[in-house]
């Protein structure tokens, strides 16, 4: 499996924010978000081929109780089911961070689904395929029915809320499962957007998520 990076850090986003976790970042993505913060796992996928044994050994060496499989898009990986089964055998809590466009019967304790809003659509030749793929209602419904889940949205402007409300309603997702996170990779920008986003969360009953890793360490790899 092509791995962009494997590291030990704190979960920076969502309902498990702050939990020490080992991160397995698979390389390759079926979307091309304009603001992608890990282009080295999507637009220009980097990394090396790791065997499942190598991944398992490296994960074990960190002694974490939580594992986060992220990307890129981990659900497009051919060996993703086997990888999750190995992590399950290690008795790790498994979070999978996915855009929710592909279903695979993985072992997973928290399906962290981040459907991509219209604000993610890039310019140029990727715009049309990205737009066609970014919301797959059937896949989202299947993931939500099978797994403990959270719906985590990246919000760039207050107007994004309309799309979030509509999707949550279509998917019949209760407000407590919806998490809003400001878009950005700079601390000042996150702080500014966080101000109005916090008010939206209070009004709607959605949960606010910081981007803790950016707050603590800035926009760097391996954190």
Q: Contact positions toward ligand SF4, by CB under 6 A?
A: 29, 31-33, 36, 38, 41-42, 71-73, 99, 116
Closest to ligand SF4 by CB, 144 vs 181, is 181
- Secondary structure class of 86 (helix, strand, coil): helix
Closest to ligand SF4 by CB, 76 vs 108, is 76
Closest to ligand SF4 by CB, 30 vs 88, is 30
Using an 8 Å Cβ cutoff, are 127 and 102 in contact? no
Closest to ligand SF4 by CB, 9 vs 70, is 70
The answer, yes or no, to whether the previous bond of 72 is cis (omega within 30 of 0) is yes
Instruction: Please give the order of strands across the beta sheet that includes 149-155.
Output: 48-49, 2-10, 20-26, 66-70, 93-98, 110-113, 149-155, 178-182, 207-208
- Secondary structure class of 179 (helix, strand, coil): strand
Using an 8 Å Cβ cutoff, are 4 and 27 in contact? yes
- Minimum CB distance to ligand SF4, residue 54 (Å): 22
- Minimum CB distance to ligand SF4, residue 41 (Å): 6
Using an 8 Å Cβ cutoff, are 65 and 38 in contact? no
- Minimum CB distance to ligand SF4, residue 28 (Å): 9
- Minimum CB distance to ligand SF4, residue 154 (Å): 8
């Amino acid at each position: 499996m092509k791995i962009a990076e494997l590291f030990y850090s704190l979960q920076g986003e969502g309902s498990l924010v702050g939990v020490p976790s080992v991160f397995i970042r698979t390389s390759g993505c079926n979307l091309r978000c304009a603001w992608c913060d890990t282009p080295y796992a999507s637009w220009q996928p980097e990394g090396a081929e790791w065997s499942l044994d190598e991944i398992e050994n490296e994960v074990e060496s960190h002694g974490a109780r939580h594992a986060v499989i992220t990307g890129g898009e981990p659900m497009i990986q051919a060996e993703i089911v086997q990888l999750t089964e190995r992590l399950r055998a290690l008795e790790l809590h498994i979070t999978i961070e996915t855009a929710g466009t592909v279903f695979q019967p993985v072992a997973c304790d928290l399906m962290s689904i981040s459907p991509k809003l219209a604000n993610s659509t890039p310019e140029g030749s990727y715009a049309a395929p990205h737009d066609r793929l970014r919301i797959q209602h059937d896949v989202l419904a299947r993931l939500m029915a099978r797994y403990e889940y959270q719906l985590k949205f990246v919000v760039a402007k207050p107007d994004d809320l309309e799309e979030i409300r509509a999707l949550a309603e279509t998917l019949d997702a209760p407000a407590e499962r919806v998490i809003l996170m400001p878009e950005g990779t700079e601390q000042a920008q996150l702080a500014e957007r966080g101000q109005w986003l916090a008010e939206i969360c209070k009004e709607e009953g959605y949960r606010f998520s910081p981007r803790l890793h950016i707050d603590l360490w800035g926009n760097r790899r391996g954190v």
